[in-house]
């Protein structure tokens, strides 16, 4: 599903964000990327999502070499990838229904199809009763579930999540992680970046550990 070969990323400050990263994530995997702040977790996700280009190396995602993908093709590549952010990234003026439907509306899907899909996914994440609410009226956990619903509305083969529980308390964080587990059980490859090492250990044995841009061997003693 995902292969990185000797990938490095250096920003304008000449400070390396990632250094010579080689790794493989299998299709259907449930994987955590962890490490301290500034370790390169977000940069790694951005490279996989083609929001950033590597300074060096090759990246294959679902058979596509995204290190060489032409800019006009990036939106089509992303249609099979869902992304969840720490700060939800919801449109505050739009209802829960409209936020989730937006991903299908921009593809020009028929209204009847959009309605059926949105109702299905909102029911699945337990928020159908909130479909007419605006994001500011929801709790943090509810907003994150809306963001997850929006990310999976297109049945992505890959779901990326960047610190998805960073703004949530412990109980809500576990609830959200269980939801990611359920998404993975349906066949979607899930990759989650988090600084919460104990949360990663609780939910998966597949853990990638980064430290100052370098890939390190993960151990419970870290």
For residues 2 and 158, the answer to whether their CB atoms sit within 8 Å is yes
State yes or no: pLDDT of 220 exceeds 80: no
The ranges assigned to domains in the chain are 27-53+77-216
For residues 53 and 59, the answer to whether their CB atoms sit within 8 Å is no
Q: Per-residue confidence at 1, pLDDT binned at 50, 70, 90?
A: confident
Q: How many helices and strands in the chain, by DSSP H and E?
A: 7, 10
Query: Is 27-53+77-216 a CATH 3.20.20.140 domain?
Result: no
Distance, in Å, from the CA atom of 196 to the CA atom of 150, rounded to the nearest integer, reads: 24
Give the pLDDT score at 222. 47
Q: Nearest Cα to 51, choosing from 162, 131, 181, 153? A: 162
pTM for this entry: 0.92
Note the pLDDT tens digit of each residue in 150-207: 999 999 999 999 999 888 888 999 999 999 999 999 999 999 999 999 999 999 989 9
**Residue at token pair 């610190």:** 163
Distance, in Å, from the CA atom of 190 to the CA atom of 142, rounded to the nearest integer, reads: 20
DSSP string, 47-104: HHTTSS--SEEEEEETTEETTS--GGGHHHHHTTEEEE-TT----TTS-HHHHHHHHH
Distance, in Å, from the CA atom of 124 to the CA atom of 157, rounded to the nearest integer, reads: 18
Note the pLDDT tens digit of each residue in 110-161: 999 999 999 999 999 999 999 999 999 999 999 999 999 999 999 999 999 9
Give the pLDDT score at 218. 63
Note the pLDDT tens digit of each residue in 8-21: 999 877 789 999 99
For residues 95 and 134, the answer to whether their CB atoms sit within 8 Å is yes
**Residue at token pair 């853990």:** 207
Give the pLDDT score at 219. 58
Q: What's the chain's average pLDDT?
A: 92
């Amino acid at each position: 599903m995902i292969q990185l070969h000797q990938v490095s990323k250096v920003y304008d400050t000449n400070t390396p964000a990632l250094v010579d990263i080689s790794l493989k994530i299998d299709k259907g995997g449930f994987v955590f990327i962890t490490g301290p702040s500034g370790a390169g977790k977000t940069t790694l996700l951005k490279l996989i999502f083609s929001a950033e280009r590597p300074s060096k190396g090759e990246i294959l995602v679902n058979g596509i070499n995204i290190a060489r993908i032409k800019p006009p093709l990036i939106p089509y590549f992303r249609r099979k990838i869902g992304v969840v952010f720490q700060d939800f990234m919801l449109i505050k003026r739009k209802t829960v229904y409209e936020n989730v439907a937006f991903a299908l509306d921009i593809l020009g899907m028929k209204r009847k199809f959009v309605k059926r899909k949105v109702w299905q996914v909102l029911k699945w994440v337990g928020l159908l009763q909130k479909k007419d609410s605006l994001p500011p009226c929801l709790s943090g956990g509810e907003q994150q579930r809306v963001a997850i619903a929006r990310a999976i509305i297109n049945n992505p083969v890959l779901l990326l999540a960047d610190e998805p529980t960073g703004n949530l308390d412990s109980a809500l964080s576990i609830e959200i992680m269980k939801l990611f587990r359920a998404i993975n059980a349906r066949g979607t490859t899930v990759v989650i970046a988090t600084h919460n090492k104990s949360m990663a250990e609780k939910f998966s044995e597949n853990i990638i550990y980064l430290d100052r841009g370098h890939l390190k061997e993960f151990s419970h003693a870290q």
